Amino acid sequence: MTYLIIRLSTLGSVAMTVPVIASLSRRYPNDRFIVASKKQLGAMFAAMPNVEFREVDNHLGWRGVFAIWREWRNEIDAVIDLQAVLRTRVFGSLMRLSGKRVTRVHYGRIRKHLITIWGIGKRQLPSEFERYCDAFRRAGLETDEAFETLPVNKTASRNIKKIYGTKEGRWIGLAPFAKSRSNMLPYRVTKEVIEQLTANENTRVFLFGAGRVECEMLRQWASVFPRTISIAGKLKLEEELELMRRLDVMICMDSANQHLSSLVGLRAISVWCATHPMIGFMGWKQSPNDIVQRNDLRCRPCACHGTNHCRYGNYACRQIEAETILQHI
């Protein structure tokens, strides 16, 4: 059978599908899986022999929805919708009218909003991995938790060695940004972490980020602190993953880099500000002991994915000192 798996955004959410899809690829070698997602994310699925990656615009319009339905309907036997938004629901309805079986993920959005907006029923929710597995189970596909790391991309690994040389001492990754202000540490704290780490001559710090503003800011920080390298905007995704594979630890916010680290077996010290692991976005097989957060705030979590507004105006959740993070390292 040929299964179409839809997960369009974001980078972190797509990365969270990898352990589950890798399990399907191994357990069902005679089936074909087509992953439809954002451009340039195919590197995460390249090593899976019966998985085909297809680029789909994240801002796909209605005309595009009907176009891919007409183009793909004859080769698809079943659809697993891991996006579950209006456009993918319409696409799924069209596929169902074509006689295809369609299964959608249950995200529990109402329960998440009850926790984050009203503070009602604060307790650990199923992880996104569990929600994905449930969707596949309802489609008749069983998964397991055997995934450890992606195979080494030899070409990308050689490129990393050529660019950054042979590893000596400690290599530490730092991904200080997130999409929302509430999910990031103050710049003062981040720069103090870099300063303390680079005070050790045996330590190199690699700064991760994306986007024009982030790239420029990280470039400036790399020019100020010794043994600090900004890789923002310089590497392909497969090269970033191979660089992560060489690191000793990744320091990151509740962001995509936590999940990318998980794909190569890298331990991630994740900082959670407005968000909270109880919502279900913790990285694959990451340790709860590596989470840094304020447990003394009743207002957390105030958002599922972060926000640019603090209801109290003080962003108390971001008040985490550099020493706390350094102690985890």
Same domain as 300, residue 195: yes
Looking at the domain assignment, is residue 111 inside a domain?
yes
Structure tokens at 12: 């972190």
Q: Which domain holds residue 311?
A: 154-328
In a domain, 222, yes or no: yes
* Whether 114 and 165 share a structural domain: no
CA distance 318 to 273: 5
Residues 59 and 196 in one domain: no
Q: Do residues 163 and 117 share a domain?
A: no
| Per-residue model confidence (pLDDT) at position 163 | 96
Strand order in the sheet with 249-253: 228-230, 203-207, 170-175, 249-253, 268-272, 291-293
Kindly report the three-state secondary structure assignment for every residue of the chain. Answer: CEEEEECCCCHHHHHHHHHHHHHHHHHCCCCEEEEEECCCCHHHCCCCCCEEEEECCCCCCHHHHHHHHHHHCCCCCEEEECCCCHHHHHHHHHHHHCCCEEEECCCCHHHHHHHHHHCCCCCCCCCHHHHHHHHHHHCCCCCCCCCCCCCCCHHHHHHHHHHHCCCCCEEEEEECCCCCHHHCCCHHHHHHHHHHHHCCCCEEEEECCCCHHHHHHHHHHHHHCCCEEECCCCCCHHHHHHHHHHCCEEEEECCHHHHHHHHCCCCEEEEECCCCHHHCCCCCCCCHHHEEECCCCCCCCCCCCCCCCCCCCCCHHHCCCHHHHHHHC
Q: What is the pLDDT of residue 114?
A: 86
Domain shared by 227 and 282, yes or no = yes
Averages of pLDDT over runs of 10 residues in the chain (329 residues) are: 94 96 97 94 95 86 91 96 94 96 94 86 93 97 96 96 95 95 95 96 96 93 97 96 98 96 97 95 96 94 91 93 94
The answer to whether position 144 is within a domain reads: no
91: in domain:
yes
Q: How many domains does the chain have?
A: 2
Question: Do 58 and 173 sit in the same domain of this protein?
Answer: no
- Domain assignment of residue 146, yes or no: no
Q: What CA–CA distances, in Å, run from 329 to 168, 277, 281, 290? A: 18, 20, 22, 9
Q: In whole angstroms, what is the distance from residue 284 CA to residue 143 CA?
A: 14
Question: Exposed, middle or buried, 298 (CB in 10 Å: 0-12/13-18/19+)?
Answer: exposed
Shared domain for 112 and 50, answered yes or no, is yes
CATH of the domain at 86: 3.40.50.2000
The answer to whether position 147 is within a domain reads: no
**Is 58 in the same domain as 158?**
no
End of a domain among 89, 107, 138? 138
Tell me the per-residue pLDDT of 155-202, one tens digit each, with 9 for 90 and over: 999 999 999 999 999 999 999 999 899 999 999 999 999 999 999 999
Q: Give domain status of residue 77, yes or no.
A: yes
